[in-house]
Amino acid sequence: LYQKQSSAWFGAKSAFTLIENNIIFNLPRAAINFNDGFGGGNIVRKNLIWNTCRESGDHGPINSWDRLPFLTRYSDALSFNSQPTVITENFIFANYGAAQAVDNDDGSSFYRIEKNVFYLSDGFKMDYGKY
């Protein structure tokens, strides 16, 4: 199998995922990709990420999309609001085709990005989202 749009971790319709203590490098696209917001509650922490986006651009080593709201019970009541996804304590090199270390694109919402080290990066992007 030969895939150019692959990531080390790809999440779709998932919630409360822990991505921790990984070394991720040499990828054609983003290292971590959240396909949708679904229920949120994910934690991305203590990862070392570099040499991503080697054959792509317009995103970062951590990339997210959120084009469709989901009705879940992950909050105290039935809600379209996701729990926050926390991205913290990571060391991210945004080299090759990466612009931002974290690219919250296409309406991505409910992300808390804190205590990271970004190198060769424009920081992070919030494109059309909130929170």
Q: Nearest-5° angle of CA 17, CA 44, CA 30?
A: 100
What pLDDT score does 11 carry? 92
How many contiguous H segments (helices) and E segments (strands) does the chain have?
A: 0, 13
| pLDDT for 93 | 92
Residue numbers of the chain with a pLDDT score lower than 70: 1-3, 126-131
Predicted confidence at residue 88, as pLDDT, reads 98
- DSSP states of 22-78 as a string? -EEE--SS-SEEE---TTB--EEES-EEES--TT--SS-SEEE---S---BSSSSSS
pLDDT at position 20 is 98
pLDDT at 1: 60
Query: What pLDDT, on the 0 to 100 scale, is given for residue 129?
Result: 52
Give pLDDT, residue 126.
66
**Amino acid 130: pLDDT:** 52
Instruction: Classify burial at 77, counting beta carbons within 10 Å of its beta carbon; exposed 0-12, middle 13-18, buried 19 or more.
Output: exposed
